[in-house]
Amino acid sequence: MKQVWIPKAGPPEILEVREAPDPAPKAGEVRVRVSAAGINFADTSARIGMYPDAPPFPCVVGYEASGVIDAVGEGVDAARVGERVLVLTRFGGYASVLCVPSLQAAPMPEAMSFEEAAALPVVYLTAHHMLVYLGNVKARDTVLIHAAAGGVGLAALQLCKHIGAKTIGTASASKHEYLKKAGLDHAIDYNTQDFEAEVKRITDGRGVDIALDAQGGESVAKSLRSLAPTGRVFAFGAASLQPEGKKNVFSAIGGLLGFPLMPLHPIRLMNDNRGIFGVNVGHLWGEVPLLREQLDALVKLYEAGAIKPVIDSTFGFSKAAEGHRRLLERRNIGKVLLLPD
């Protein structure tokens, strides 16, 4: 099999393709011949040495993939061989062959492409977990979606459209036209506009019911101040800690200092009727049945036509550096994928 390795911390060009023997599935596992794998910000953070959960260098990262089961371990129904599946994996996803526990490989709908299947698990699970499982989003709600043109952003937009919630999204001006065609109600240019002021203007001072914030730092404080009564912020990333796409201690310290501390005092939150949730789907591996339940719900939404993963671009394993750079430079609209070559 082929794998994309991170030999040591460095820029995208540090990534390299290596050959290795095909793994054999253990008891309870399935082996998947991979057709596509998703790239996520966790992967780019791991590459620069700023993702504490990542395995030590050298390592293979990747949380999601799609492909066909070609072998099963003891205790797994042999009838699964030949099944097209979308896969959740805790690292190791940048590979042409994967072995994962059977529960982490979900059957794909007939109409779903391998690219769509690899683009669904991480971003849609994250959006669904925040909006539906924790957020209890309703048709009457207004939702602020940061980085609305990214993978999680577009997944959240589609879920909000399906439920009927109003949406406000932040994105660079070049992506506004696309987002409006995709159903976004109000677009804010984060480069030239203060989203906190714009939210107040758009909502006539009331604020939003839900804010999805992957920036971290001061953005979380502003999102918290942008909430309506009973509003809740979901903080699911800290992009502000590495704005240059490389390890920078000073940027990280500055970003950490920007996180709101005083507004999070329980008395203040009680008096304001506001809340904040931290979300890291990568830390829910002890709750795989819960993740699988949500993944199955998302597959049903796909079959009903309510959601459809947006593919920005695909890169062969040998061009993995280009995929990482595209994501880091925020040139993508939707998911960036790797394909074994």
Domains of the chain: 2-120+309-339 (3.90.180.10), 123-281 (3.40.50.720)
Confidence at residue 264, expressed as pLDDT on a 0 to 100 scale: 72
Confidence at residue 253, expressed as pLDDT on a 0 to 100 scale: 45
Q: Which residue from 165, 144, 123 is spatially nearest to 312, judged by alpha carbons?
A: 123
| Consecutive 10-residue averages of pLDDT for the chain (341 residues) | 98 98 98 98 94 95 98 98 97 98 97 98 98 98 97 98 98 98 98 98 98 92 96 87 55 50 75 94 94 97 98 98 96 97 89
Q: Which stretches within the chain are classed as H helix?
A: 41-47, 114-119, 121-128, 151-163, 176-181, 195-202, 218-225, 249-258, 266-272, 288-303, 320-328
Q: What is the pLDDT of residues 153-210, one digit of tens each?
A: 999 999 999 999 999 999 999 999 999 999 999 999 999 999 999 999 999 999 999 9
CA 69 to chain centre: 24
Q: What is the pLDDT of residues 96-132, one digit of tens each?
A: 999 999 999 999 999 999 999 999 999 999 999 999 9
pTM metric for this prediction: 0.93
Phi, psi of 11 (to 5 degrees): -70, 175
How many Å apart are CA 226 and CA 144, to the nearest integer?
Answer: 9
How many Å apart are CA 235 and CA 71, to the nearest integer?
Answer: 39
As a whole number of Å, the CA-based R_g of the chain is: 20
Per DSSP bridges, beta strands 105-107 and 84-88 are: antiparallel
